[in-house]
Each structure stands twice: as structure tokens, then as C-alpha cells.
Structure 1
Amino acid sequence: MNTIPTLIPAPKRMRYDGKRPLDNSRTVTIEAGTRPASVTQSAARQLSSWLGEHWRGRVLVRPSEADISDGAEGELPYRIRLIETGTETETERYSLVSDCHEMSIAGSPRGILHGVQTLIQLLQPETSCDLLSLPLAAIEDEPDVSVRGIFAECFWGSDLMELADWKAMIDEMVSFKLNTLSVGIYGCWSSRYPTDANSRSEFLFAPILDHPERLPDRRIHYFDPLTKQTATKTYRPALYENDGLGQLIAYAVERGIRVVPQLNGPGHSLLLPRLYPHISAINNKGEATGSGYSLTHPDTFPMLKRMFKRVIDRYMLPYGQTWFHIGMDEISGWSSVDLAAYSPRGLLELYLVEIGGYLIENGMDKVIIWHDMAESLTGFDESFEELLERHGLAGKIVIQWWNYTMPAFSVKAVRGAEGWMAPSTGYLPGMFYQDYVENVENRVNEGVEQSFQGALAYALYSPTFRRNTAYLAEKSWNTRKRDASEFDRQYAEWIVSDEAEHWAGGMGDMRKLFQYSSTFVLLLEIGVFSGNSDAARPYPARIIRSVLATDGTHKAYRVTRALALNALLSFERGSAVSGREYELQVIRFECRRVVGLIDALLGLADAVRDQERIANGPIAGRSGLAGIGGRLERELDKLDALLVEMREVLPGYMVYVGWREYMFLREAIRVQMEQLKRLAGDRAVLSGEAELSRADWL
């Protein structure tokens, strides 16, 4: 009996008759025709490279059949033919048919690329340097959703991604047969981090300002567990510094990935109104707010249009890209000057008509917006639909419906606009893992009910979220198959060669821990990202006071820790499928990370509580201060070891983000530990001659 290999995404129709081994004395030829499309050429290069890395046999790429033997007693080589069928470049259907002598992968260039991904997954588990394990199969396959991919946010971490990191992301998308990458190139947020040593949360990934010299360098302040010192990294986003957006787009297009830049506004804009105060929104006192725009100022739209035009002319049209995302989400603080002439709805529609119309006039085919503000202000009513028609936007607008938390989410079809769903595949990799499998399932199902054409997930990309990305690929390719629990089994079989049932069960336990739920909120509170937004309740004093105020909070963290340990037990055994060792490393690390962070938090809280208990108790109890300080010192060492391990598991561009996230908790532990050591060595305190103080930092 032939066991069908586990593939992600699974093919629609597949007959599998086992495999044909080919030893390394043989030759494989990859034949892509005489004038293949660039995507077909990329597919041939990828397959040739993979074979060269994993098998010691001879691999030749050639345009068509030629008179050649493979050197093994005159035997002909094993042929892999890539056959372009028709000129419909948008179709992604492909077929793969193989026997003992040859294999054909037929389809459009993008379909051929997908077929090569299927072949590589079929080869991967059992191929070795000495033996190529060729499948004997017949596959007919195509996706259910036409637009499938990731929206990569511009934020802390992604601003440190080098071009090589972006290319690795694209390669992962190709491997999962995703076809669209939206890249945030401008977006801003109210600061979540202390700004004395850290830059503002303002991001620009391409040199498109009227005055590029005005863009300040960025800084991130963090604790380095290797040197045991705080440090500051000063930099500019790599894409900006090296003007790499064009190279990113070229690389993606060659691999069948459409790129959709996002230049957000009028919400999520702080940098532009700070650099150009005259276009800033105005408050009731006539002062520039440094947030959002005065849309009625005569310079605002011309400046924005110049920026959009630079993106189009430099980075999009040269590579045939014609879709543009303009954001329009979470708008707050409309300019008082604008509100004297327009309602909030009128201002939103003014922005859409001015910017959307300009983009279409300059060669764009689709203009994408987030759903939330337009739905809130217009309800996508008949007047909105008529607005699209009246201004030539009907058939050009895409509404991207986003929700990363709720199990059920109401969406609707809008006449004159295409619909895409936006689940998430994770956006806090520096802090902890996020399980968004059920979120992907729910959002894709809701989109299918409305005949939406796209599933483009919001993400702060990290390969540590690969399981979420894999399910996005699976669910958008096969919308009627694979709920979350079924995918747990599928993914477990994909990454481990044994103990798959244990791993599938552990992934179900991880979902209880890492999906958006009470445990997610508890984990969010441990880092400074959530805990520093209220200046009146500084981090980490706020969360420590919460833990001390009621045993319920302390117990909730202990239960969360137990969930992580329980999941980790399922992952103790199991060997990785060849090439998927990192997936196992990530899953085990993320469970350990939760345990370590909770131990650090509760260790600090317990030390504060014990110090207060001793201060309120008999003087003889003060001899216990040294023991409390010693336990806290051990927690500090464990936290430092965890921070070092983050460097080994997280991608390099996320390490500094993770180190900053927990440096404030670490500093509080250090201060508390040193205070305890000082008190334990103070004879006057121990004898009762001096007062025993409480936690200074709290």
C-alpha cells in the first residue's frame, strides 16, 4: 500500500502510485522549452537548485530534448518537462504526471511554478544525497481563492529586514503557492515605547519624500544579554537606505508574486504631518496636531500625489505592478478646519476620490482600502456605491475586511467593489507566539460565503509564524476542507516523521494558549508593548500590582504556565522531516518562552510580596531576605538565558525587538534583587535598628 505524502496545500485531485528511486549515477534533465516565461525560468532554476543541494546526481537544465545519455550504461536521463499551455497568465491550474521515465508539469507559468512546489514537497521527505525519490503520480490542481497572500506591515522588526530577509519571505510564500504580497511602506502609530532612547513608531520604507534629507535616523534601545549591557542601535530601514523596494518587487515578480505597496493615510500618519506641519490636521485652537492631514489645505493632496507618483513610476510600472493599497483605516482626529466644510463621511469620500482617482489615472487597476472607517461612516450604503460609479471607481476598488480576534465577523458584498478577507498570521513575534489558525479558518469561510476573491492576511512577518502561513495557504487553496483540528494533524505529519499524533495534540493545546483569548491578554501584559501606554500607570509596576492585588491574577498566570508545559510534553519526542527541523525548534521554544517569561514575572511579584510580608512581620524574619534575593537572582539568570535563546531562534531582525520588549521587566528584577541583597547585608536592618523599606521601584 502506498502512503500518500502530506502536502501543503493539498492537491485537489491526486493519484499516487509510490516512488521510483534514482541513484546518484544518473542524470535528470529539466526541460523548459525554447522561450519560457520568466516565471517558468524561475521554476526551473528553483528545481535545479533544490536537486543540486539534496542529491549528488547530475542535473541539467536545457531548453528542449536533445540527444544525450546520462552515462549509466547508455541509459537516457530522467526527463522533467515544464510545459507552458496557453497564454492565460492569471490561471494557476497545473497538472503533474510522472512515470518511471519522465515527468511533465503543465500549466501557465504560474501554474508550472506551483507544480514545482508540489514536486519538491513530494521529493523532500525521502530524498538523500545518494538516492532521489521520484514520485509516481498524477495530479490535477488549482486554487479556490484567486488572491492569496500576506500584508507585511511596516513596524518595529520589519524595519530591520534586509533585502535577503524579504527574499526569504517571498521564497516561503512561493513554497506555499501564495501569490500576493502587500508591503506597508508608510505607516505610524502612537508610541508604545519610551521615546527618550527609542525612535517614534513612524515608518517609511522608500525614499519618496519631497525632502528625503528630513527623514531622521531610527533608534532602538535594548538590553543585550550577551554583554549584560543596555545598547542603542541607530539605523535606517534597509529597504529605504538601499532603495531596495524595486529589487524586492523584481524578485517577487520573477517568482509569480504580485506586489501591492501600501502608503497609509489619512489615519496612521504622524511622520508626514510632523515633517510638514502645514499639512497637519488642526485642532480647535488652530494648532497643528502632528497627526493626520488638513485635506482642504492646498498643499496636502499635491504633496501626497507626488509621493504616490514616485512609487508608481520608480517601483511599480517598471515591473508591471498595478495594484495599490491606500489604507484608510483607524482614522481619528479629523482637522477642525476640514470639519467646518465637510462631515467625517465627506472627508473620507474626498480622500478616496482624490487619491483613488489619481492612482487610476496613473495606470493602477485596483485600489485597496481597509473596511473599518468606510463601513463605520458610510455603511457601504447605496450612496457609497453610487459614489464609486460616479467617479469611475466602480470595478477598481477592493475592500479588505480585517478582523483578528472575533470568532464571527459580519461582512457584506458591496456593488462596484471587490472583497478580500484579512485574517492575521501573527504580528507580535518579538513578544510570543500567536496561533491564528482558527482566525484564518473563520475569515476565509466568511469570505467564501460572500464570493470574495481574496484572502490576504495581516502580518508582521516572521518564519516563527510559519504554521499560520501554512494554514492560510491550505485554507485559501482548499476552502471546503481542513478545519483547525484537521490541519493540526496535517501540519504535524508535514513536519515530523514520527509521533505525529502527539504533535497534533500538542498543537491543539498551543491553540488554547496562543489564540486570541484570556491567555493571550495575560501574555500581552508581560511586555512593555501593552504595558507602557498609560504614563500614569508605568510598566512593569502596573502588572506587578495587579498580580499582588488578587490571587486570581497570580493563579491565571500559573494556569497559563501549566498549559505551556502541558503542550511541551507533547513535543518531547519526534524526529523532523528532512528540511523542517526549524519548525520543531520554534514550537518547543515558544512553549519554553512562555514558561520563562511567567517565571520571571511571578518571581518578581513573589519577591515584592515576600519583602512586604517580612517588613510587616517579626524582626527575626528579616534573615530570610538573603534567600528571597538569591531566588530572584536565579530568575534573572534564567531570563537572560531565555533572551540569549531568542537570538538563536528568532530571525535577526526581530531579536532587538524581543530584547527591548522585556528589558524593562528585567531591569525591575535587577533593581529588586540588588535592593534585597543590600538589605540582607545591612546589620541595622537585620537587627531592627533601621526600618525595612519596601520595593523602591514600585
Structure 2
Amino acid sequence: MFVFAQVSFAQQEPSLESRYPLIPYPQELRAQDGFFIFNVKTVIIADKKVFSNEIKQLQSLLGMKLEISETAILKNFIEFKIDPNITKAEGYILDINKNKILISAKDNVGIFRAIETIRQLLPNKIEQLAQDSNADTWSVPAVYIKDFPVYEYRGMHLDVARHFFSFEYLEKFIDRLALYKFNKLHLHLTDDEAWRIEIKKYPKLTEEGAWRSFDGHDSACIARAKATGDPDMEIDPSHIKRINGKEMYGGFYTQKQMKEIVAYAAERHIDIVPEIDMPGHSRMAIKLYPFLACTAGKETGQGFSVPMCPCNENTFTFAENVYSEIFKIFPYKYVHFGADEVNKESWAKSAECKTVMEREQLKNVEELQSYFVRRMEKFFNAHGKKLIGWDEILEGGVTSSAIVMYWRSWVPDAPIIAAKQGNKVIMTPGNPLYFDAIPDKNSLMNVYHFNPIPKGLNKQQAANIIGAQANIWTEYIPTTNRLEFMVYPRMLALSEVLWTKKTNDASFLKRLQYQYKRMDVMGIHYRLPDIAHLLQQNVFTHSDTLNIQSPMRDLTIHYTTDGSMPTLQSPILRKPIIITKSVVYKIDLFTKNGLRGEVNTARFEQQNLMPSIKVKRNYTGLNVAYFEGAFKNVAGMQGIQPTNKWNEVDLNFSKEHIHSGTFGLEFIGVITVPQDGVYSFYLTSDDGSVLKIGDKLVIDNDGLHTAQEKNGQIALQKGSHFFELDFIEGGGGYKLQLQYSMPHSNQKQDVPITWFK
């Protein structure tokens, strides 16, 4: 028996990243000399019955019909075998030298994971095979690897309800999950907007419920496509058709198609976790089958849509009939029930619910939700299934056998409570694992530094955290290109967190450079790396220099100054540009094959140093005004009286003053800088924030959004200046951070408390 050793990146030679650019990185890797060459005479030594799928996957990968034998030979072979000494689930040993490849594993899953490691070691052009290749040979570098995943559940989620993605694309997505060693695909198949899976008992769910006229999200995507010229935000015309003379948008998967997708994923040892969201997010089902709502639930309701009625036996009949068909399509233990964001107003008004609550001795509508979940969990368990629910299922009580999927970052105790009471927990907090959140320059490493184990758990309790997944909600993701821009490369960072656990920024970023080239060959429209030290608002007193470097070799920087979007025909930034007057640059990165990055707008404004002020104050720090309520932008706080006021030494305000999930804050005071010059400020917030110094707007990071950083500069004279920072929180957990860098420096640091005294 051997012991798996944890990898230590610090001990690896720099050349390892180029020779073995693996993501996720193995637990243990030892370099060996030479290469193994696959050719038409290479033999697969394996039991044809035991490893039929893995043999098929390897041959498909290589594009070669290799001979299969169960008899040992001297060289030029790859051998699969089960090793009972390997005790870790999905664990494997991969030993490659110039004569042979040996793969030993605990089970078939480990054999396949090793094949995917070989896939990453093969030349990038292997990804162009598409089942048809004229290649005579393929080479892989010699190496010795011992490997296994740290977490049992390594998932990606895809919402196909808001925008539909084709059968063919799901297969492509699954293949990429396999490449990076994910083992779960959570498909969000139903929501208010559409129903995407055929249910034979209720045919209207897809005959009518899979199609809609353009809704608010669709219209927003169309408007953005027109405003920005971004074709990736346009509605995919392949999912539009005329029904009864009307233009309708949508699509669905037949049960036959979904069974084929399930089989395709199973060959790659990926479980598909279906989600039929109940009782909330069910507007489409209720529209088609009105009996599902409570008698008092026909009104629209505030916030989220009116849910299914847990006090009506017809609701349970419907739910059980739907899930009975789902269970036959998806042969896995995990099935997702949803149970999130339930607007319970109609339940509170319902006479039927009052009767049920009295009969079941339920104190409130939260316990009524728990009643619904518990009853459905019994049905799941009777069919050999494990119920997964979003963390709202904890409200009102939940059995310890239910699996909790934690997403609400603003309820940090939820996964701790669940793990302590024995529930298995899947971590998917909105920050940083909601990949529908628009990425910025910090997003990739925020994912890479994510720790699935929350603080406050002992070793036994931490074992209940079985893994994590990233969620992709698609309200504003109408195309596969946009989807890929949002997912890659963040998905690769998550794969290493969940498989390897040990992280090393420098090593990961080096290996990622090689993975970008592989993704180029695969045709993935990934998000290009950010340009370092590029500010959005630049200030100079006499002159400035636009001096930026491409973050990757083979990327070119194109720019315009006339307000138009850069193209491959726009000027290339080859050397620093001296700036002596106010100007706006639009800057973008391009790959050789035309893949573009995000357009960066860099404004340059000539300013004189803002004169310092002399001010007498009867306080130190910052005066804070608190406005309770929901605001779409910071301007919404103007003209209304604050709910409360207090004083803080800096922007790290105490939560004890906050009594609502949605609110606004206004920080007013004086900031004192130590020398003349142009200061850079970096403002990160979730949601909106606006920074003003004196009479100047320095940073506009306004609006409802996830945590993102924006920056700006201002020319200040040494001394004191009026300071104002407005911030709004729209619900979902707030973040507010202000950093700065000194004149002629790019070093970011937190604004010191002494500057506000």
C-alpha cells in the first residue's frame, strides 16, 4: 500500500509548468526523462469487459483503433489495471516512460481521470480530432503521478431555463468538465420563465411552457447587444421559431435526448444532477396548471413569483408524478428540489394552509415550507434518491439526511449550522462562485483562493462539507460565446481548488498560459487576461504616458481615440504613448484567431492640483448616515432623511447599526494626504458606490452588481480635502473596500485610518 503525498509547488522546478501544464495539478508529480509515443502499433492491455468504456474513450481521444490484448508484452503499450491498494475514491497512479504507460486505479473512474491527464499532456492539436485524424503518432512526456481528488462533489451548474442551450452544446460542455476533472453537472431545468424537460404526464409543460415571447431579460440582452455592438449578447436565432403566427423563443429536451445526454456524461464519469425547482420559481407550471397555486395565490405577489401550494394534495400528486419521471431519466442518487426564494404571502392568506398548519401543528409559513420539503424528501428516499435543496431549506427545520446547497453569502452561519447538525453541505456561495457575476481582474484569483471549509467547524464537522460548485444563472447569458466568456478561466481555478486543494498562484498562472492555447484549439471563447496597471480614470498635471504590456505572448493590443470599438484593423499599441491633453482611449486585446477581450476605456484628464483646505472639526474619522430601504443607485438616497447617524474611524463600519438587508450609507469627512501629486484610488463594492473628493467625482462604481473594482485618479495638494463616499446594498451580502497608491507608484494598499483623523 502506498500513501498519497500532498503536492508542494514550492519544491517544483519552474520547467515543470511548461512540461506538465496540468490543471488541476496532481497531488504528487515526479518528472521523468523522455517521451512515450503512441502509434498504430501501440497495444492497450486491459480486460475488454471491465474497461470497455475507458478503452473506447482512449481510442476516441487518439483517433486510433489500437489493438486490445489481455496478454503482457515488452514495450509500446498502455495498461489499465485495478489496484486494491489505492484506497482514495477516483485515485490513480500514472507511470509514463519511453516504453510503456501503466495506469493503476481504485476503480474505472480513476482510470478515466488518468486518461484525461494524458489528454492534457498530449499536444493541443489533439483537441481538433473530432473523431477524424490522419495523425500517425502522438507523444506524451514521461512522468510519474499519484493523484486523487480532495472533495467528493466537484460541480458546475448551468441554468437552461432562462436561456436554452442545445443538446449538442451540453455534450461539448460535459466533455470540458471531464477534461478538468469535474464529476457533477447540476442542470437547472425549470423556472418562472420556462420548462425545459419533457414530462409525459403533463405535456403542456414543454409544448407551451418551453416557449415564450421575449421577456424583460431577453429585451435587456438585445438592448445591450445594440448598445455595445457585442454579438455575444444577441438572442440566438436557432432557438426562435413561429408558433401559431407568433415569434417564440425557447426549446426543450425530450426524454430520449436527455437520456442520451445522461449516457454521454456517464461515459465520462460525470453525474447529472437535475433540478425541478419547487415550490417557488414555478410561475410557468402554475400558468399551465393553475390548480398548483393556493386559492388565494392568483395575485402576482411582491418580489418573487407566487409558489406552488403545499396545502393542496393535487400539488403533491403533480410533484410526485413529475419526479417519478425524472428519477427514471437520471439514475443517480442526487436530485435537486430547489426550494429557494419562496414568496409565502399566498400561503399566509390561504384558508387551506391555515387548516394544514393547525393539523400539522406548524407555527408559521417557514415551517410550512419545511413540511413540504420533508414530505417530498420521504418520496425521494423511497425511490433511492437524496434530496438537495438550496440553503433556505434550513428555515423551519430540515432532516439531517437532506443535502444543503449553500449559496446565500449574507447568511454565513447557514453552512456551519447545517454541517454541525449532520447535513452534508455543498458550498456554492454567490461570492465568488456565481459565475454569472461579471468578472473583473480580481475574479479569477478570488475563485482560486476560495476555501470550501467555513471557519468554526471541527475536523468531524468539516467532513460534512462534501465539495462545491460554481453556478451559472443565465438571465443575461443568451449565447454559448457569452457563457464561455463568463465561465473560463474561472472554472479551471475552481477545478484545482476542489481536486488538488493546495494552491500556488505563480504555478497556476504559468500553467494557465498553456491552457489558454489548448482552449484556443478547442474554440472556447474564454475571457482574456486583464491588462495590468490600466486605470479607468487617469489624471495628469503636465503629461502622462500610456505604457501597458500585453499579459500574454501572442496577444496584441489595439486602440482607438475616436470613441469607436477597437478591431483588428485598429492601430496596435507597440510602444508607450506620451499624452499631453485630455483624451479617451478604448483599448482591447486580440488573439491571432480574432478572439477579443473586454473593451477597456481609459480616460486621461489634465488637472491642476486641488488646493488643500483648512477645516475645524469636532469629530475624527467619518460621519456615517444610514438609509434603510432599497436603492437602485446612490442618487436614491438624496432628499430623504437618514434612519440613523454615527461616527466611524474609517470605512470598516460595524454591522450592529445595520437592521435591513437593503440599505444605503453616506460617509462624509476629510481625507488628508501626505504630499503633492496624483493619487490613484481603487474602490471595490457590492453593490454600488461613488467616491468624491472635494468637488471631483473620482470613481463611479454605482448600480446593483456583485463585488467589482473600479478605479480613478485625482491630483491633490498636500493636506486636507473634503471626502464623500456613498454606498448602497441591494441585498446579498455587502463588500466595501477603498485602497490607494501613492503618486508614481502602482502599489495598492488600504487607506490608513490616520488619513481620516
Above 0.5 in TM-score? yes
The answer to whether the aligner puts 1:28 opposite 2:42 as a matched pair is yes
Matches within 5 A, 1:472-621: 472-482=494-504, 487-495=508-516, 509=530, 569-571=550-552, 573=554, 585=591, 589=595, 591-593=597-599
- Percent identity over the alignment? 19
Q: Deviations over 1:84-137 (max 9, x none)?
A: 335999820100112222111111100001111111212226989565323222
Among 133, 138, 143, the alignment partner of 2:144 is 138
AA paired with 1:255? R
Which residue of structure 2 aligns with residue 279 of structure 1? 292
TM-score (structure 1 length as normaliser): 0.60
1:112 is aligned to: 111
Q: Which residue of 1 aligns with 2:493?
A: 471
Q: Hey, which of these two has a bigger chunk of helix by percent?
A: 1
Higher relative contact order (CA 8 A, sep 6+): 1
Match of 2:89 among 88, 91, 102: 91
Match of 1:259 among 253, 266, 272: 272
Corresponding residue for 2:258? 245
CA distance in 2, matches of 1:236, 1:88: 50
Computed over aligned residues only, the root mean square deviation of the Cα atoms, in angstroms, reads 4.4
Whole-angstrom CA distance in 2 between matches of 1:511 and 1:346: 51
Other structure's SS at 2:26 match: coil
> Does structure 2 retain, via aligned residues, the 8 Å contact 1:495–1:584?
no
Confirm or deny: 8 A CA contact 2:196 2:210 kept in the other structure: no
How many angstroms apart in 2 are the aligned matches of 1:278 and 1:149?
A: 35
Given that 1:426 and 1:434 are in contact with CA atoms closer than 8 Å, whether structure 2 keeps it comes out as no
- The secondary structure found in structure 2 opposite 1:331 is coil
Equivalent runs, 1:25-424 vs 2, <5 Å: 27-36=41-50, 40-52=51-63, 60-65=66-71, 78-86=76-84, 91-107=89-105, 108-124=107-123, 129=135, 132-157=138-163, 159=164, 161-188=165-192, 201-207=193-199, 210-212=202-204, 213-215=207-209, 217-220=211-214, 222=222, 233-234=240-241, 237-241=250-254, 243-283=256-296, 291-313=306-328, 315-316=329-330, 320-335=331-346, 336-337=349-350, 340=354, 341=357, 342=362, 343-364=364-385, 366-371=386-391, 373-375=392-394, 377-378=395-396, 384=397, 388=399, 394=400, 396-403=401-408, 411-412=416-417, 413-423=419-429
**Contact 1:567–1:591 (CA<8 Å) still a contact in 2?**
no
In structure 1, C-alpha distance between the alignment counterparts of 2:456 and 2:504, rounded to whole Å: 14
AA at the equivalent of 1:438: N
Larger mean Cα displacement after TM superposition, 3-12 or 209-218: 209-218
Equivalent residues of 1:145, 1:453 under 8 A apart: yes
Unaligned runs of 5+ in 2: 1-12, 127-133, 242-247, 474-479, 519-526, 541-545, 557-588, 604-757
How far does residue 325 in structure 1 lie from its aligned partner after superposition? 0.6
What's the CA shift for 1:567?
Answer: 7.9
Q: Separation in 1 of the partners of 2:282 and 2:538?
A: 37
Question: Does the 8 A contact of 1:183 with 1:261 survive in 2?
Answer: yes
- Which amino acid letter does the alignment assign opposite residue 494 of structure 2? L
> In 2, are the aligned partners of 1:106 and 1:112 still within 8 Å (CA)?
yes
Counterpart of 1:374, as a letter, is I
| Structure 1 residue 446 displacement after superposition | 2.9
DSSP 3-state at the match of 1:291: coil
In structure 2, distance between residues paired with 1:242 and 1:77: 46
Q: Which letter does structure 2 place at the counterpart of 1:141?
A: D
Q: CA deviation at 1:509?
A: 4.2
**What amino acid sits opposite 1:204 in the alignment?**
R
Equivalent-residue separation in structure 1 for 2:191 and 2:591 (angstroms) = 33
Question: How far off its partner does 1:283 sit?
Answer: 4.5
- When the two structures are superposed, what TM-score results if normalisation uses the length of structure 2? 0.56
Separation in 1, partners of 2:504, 2:555? 23
Which letter maps to 1:421?
M
CA distances 1:242-298 after superposition (whole Å, capped 9, x unpaired): 7422111111112111121111121212112211222214548x7576621221123
Number of residues paired by the alignment?
483
AA aligned opposite 1:206: E
> Could you list the per-position Cα deviations for residues 321-369 of structure 1 after superposition, in whole angstroms to 9, with x for gaps in the alignment?
22111011111243221663351221111111111111111221x2111
Q: Classify 1:299/1:496 alpha carbon distance in 2 versus 1 (closer, same or farther; 3 Å).
A: closer
1:97·1:138 contact (CA, 8 Å) conserved in 2? Answer: yes
Give the SS at the match of 2:22: coil
Cα distance, 1:98–1:79 mapped onto 2, change above 3 Å: same
Aligned mates of 1:143, 1:448 — CA distance in 2: 24
2:162/2:194 contact within 8 Å kept:
no
Check conservation: 2:532, 2:549, Cα contact below 8 A. no
Take 1:306 and 1:557, find their aligned partners in 2: how far apart are those partners?
A: 61
> How many angstroms apart in 2 are the aligned matches of 1:251 and 1:444?
29
SS at match of 2:345: coil
List, as ranges, runs of 4+ consecutive aligned residues in structure 1 with deviation greater than 6 Å: 87-90, 223-226, 229-232, 404-410, 429-434, 510-513, 555-559, 565-568
Please report how far the alpha carbon of residue 35 of structure 1 lies from its aligned counterpart in structure 2 after TM superposition. Answer: 1.6
2:293 touches 2:308 (CA, 8 Å); kept in 1?
A: yes
Letter in 2 for 1:473: S
| Pair 1:414–1:351, CA change in 2 (3 A) | farther
Secondary structure of the corresponding residue to residue 261 of structure 2: helix
SS in 1 for 2:259: helix
| Shift in CA distance, 98/443, structure 1 to aligned 2, threshold 3 Å | closer
Q: Which of the two has greater strand per residue?
A: 2
Deviation at 1:471, TM superposition (A): 1.1
- Is contact 1:281-1:293 (8 Å) kept? yes
